[in-house]
Amino acid sequence: MHKVAAFYQFLPLPDAAGMVEPYRAFCARLDLRGTMLIAPEGINGTLAGPPAAIDEFAAALQDGRVVAPAFTRLELKFSTAETAHFDRLKIRLKREIITFGQDECDPLRQVGTYVSAQDWNALITDPEVVVVDTRNDFEVSMGRFQGAVNPGLTSFSEFADFVEQRLSNRQKTKIAMYCTGGIRCEKASSYMLAKGFSEIYHLRGGILRYLEDIPEAESLWQGDCFVFDRRVALGHGLVAHPEAIVPGVPVDKT
């Protein structure tokens, strides 16, 4: 049995380049596989390995034992897999930990209002709220929350165009957005606030946290949640559905 850690945190990292090799060596020693992105704005990744090794890695991120700083507000989710679903380890220096490409977007300065999984249903069933899925179109095709708007994206960097073309006249409307693990909503909400939207809410921990915390009988989620590895899709309780293949979509085996 392998343990999987999906994690991110926005935090200023003046020496992001200097963190790459220490984390590469540490993860290699633990025999972890997957991808970790390091940028001046923070970290983002999904790693898998023996349960004890993943636990040690998560603890090291949060206490700064590998290299400062400590990621004390890490958004971290665990799941399990029967087999290893990454082939190798990649620790990479990037300009952004999730590519958006808009200077107005700064999650280190402002983001929308976080909504817990437990409070999410009440928010999205409010008739005054517009629910927006910030993921790519093929991801939405596998599953979404009831009534959510699909922006029809082929990449997250197109979200700014969607806002301009379809939401620019709704700056006073309550907007609730969600994504796989929460990171895309950090950037999307920051961008929308910078553009004058006043009430932006987003699901803390994303779909994965919701599927983990909310019983299926109470859930408003329909379908599966696509993930970019050999698990392919996750359902309630983060149960893997590897048979849920989406034609034409590459799976990251790392």
Q: What is the CATH number of the domain that holds 192?
A: 3.40.250.10
179 in any annotated domain: yes
Residues 58 and 87 in one domain: yes
d(CA 92, CA 19): 10
Residue 190 token pair: 């920051």
**How confident is the model at residue 224, as a pLDDT?**
85
- The count of structural domains within the chain is 2
Q: Tell me, yes or no, whether 33 and 61 share the same domain.
A: yes
Predicted TM-score (pTM) of the model is 0.88
- Confidence at residue 85, expressed as pLDDT on a 0 to 100 scale: 73
pLDDT along the chain (254 residues), means of 10: 93 98 98 97 96 98 97 93 83 97 93 98 98 96 94 96 94 96 97 97 96 94 78 64 51 47
Query: Are 123 and 185 found together in one domain?
Result: yes
Range of the structural domain that residue 218 is part of: 113-238
Is position 247 within any domain?
no
The whole-number pLDDT of residue 207 equals 94
Q: What is the pLDDT of residue 249?
A: 52
CATH number for the domain harbouring residue 38: 3.30.70.100
> Would 245 be classed as within a structural domain?
no
Asked if 153 and 223 sit in the same domain, the reply is yes
Name the residue type at position 117. Answer: A
| Domain co-membership, 17 together with 63 | yes
| 17 and 129 part of one domain | no
- Which positions are annotated as active-site residues? 179
Q: How far is CA 28 from CA 6, 67, 119, 127, 230, in A?
A: 17, 15, 39, 50, 21
pLDDT at 14: 97
- Among residues 200, 201, 247, 227, the alpha carbon closest in space to that of 35 is found at 227
